[in-house]
Amino acid sequence: MMPKRSTITDRSDEEFEWTGRMNESVYFVNCNNSVITVGSKCTKVSVESCVNTKVILKFGNITSFLEIIKCVDSEVCLEEGVSIATVSVDGARNLTLRVKDCQTQLEKIWWHNVSKLHVDRGAEMGLFLLDKIPENNEITRFQHVCKVQPDGSFSKEPVMRENGYPITEEEKMAAEAKQAEYDRQMEEMVRRNIKISKKPAP
């Protein structure tokens, strides 16, 4: 059965709860000055072009993926027990992501073209600003990723690989070391083959 798509658009100055089915993906688009609650488990949640809007997730989703696009002065809250593996944020301005327990509710956050992305990690961890240059209102124009560590902190500053895939510095170094070892083994294999081919025929 193909997943269904439910789109809620152009809602303003409202407080409402959305409930659907597990095979539905829900998209909230152009909602302003509103409070939206996702009151049932679904396939995927996307929030796009919303302004001064709060979205509350009372349940997780099948894909464990949350997408936030071009939202301004808004916040997304994961209620206690709701786990999302990946949060993707693109083109947002002054966005806050609130979680009760960072260690159990998040795995990683991807962000691109973002200004002022805050993560409220609960009372013990406090507020964390992902954007490194918020004071001059510039925008991070590169794609970044950070991962939640076992203690609830975030991984170090992310970097870009040559193929454009964002990873952390530790992962980049490990990948480069693995590639270097692979290249060394391939070169050694080529040298052995050349030596064998140069041996005179009996």
Residue among 54, 47, 69 at smallest CA distance from 120: 54
Which residue has 């193909």 as its token pair? Answer: 2
d(CA 60, CA 43): 9
d(CA 62, CA 26): 12
Supply the pLDDT for residue 57: 95
Other Cβ atoms within 10 Å of 199 Cβ, number: 7
Residue 84 burial (CB < 10 Å; 0-12/13-18/19+)?
A: buried
User: From first to last of its 202 residues, what are the pLDDT tens digits of the chain?
Assistant: 556 889 999 999 999 999 998 899 999 999 999 999 999 999 999 999 999 999 999 998 999 999 999 999 999 999 988 989 889 999 898 999 988 877 778 888 888 788 888 888 765 555 666 654 444 444 445 566 677 776 666 665 555 555 555 566 667 778 788 989 999 998 888 888 876 666 555 5
Q: Look up residue 76 and give its two tokens.
A: 């997304």
d(CA 126, CA 156): 17
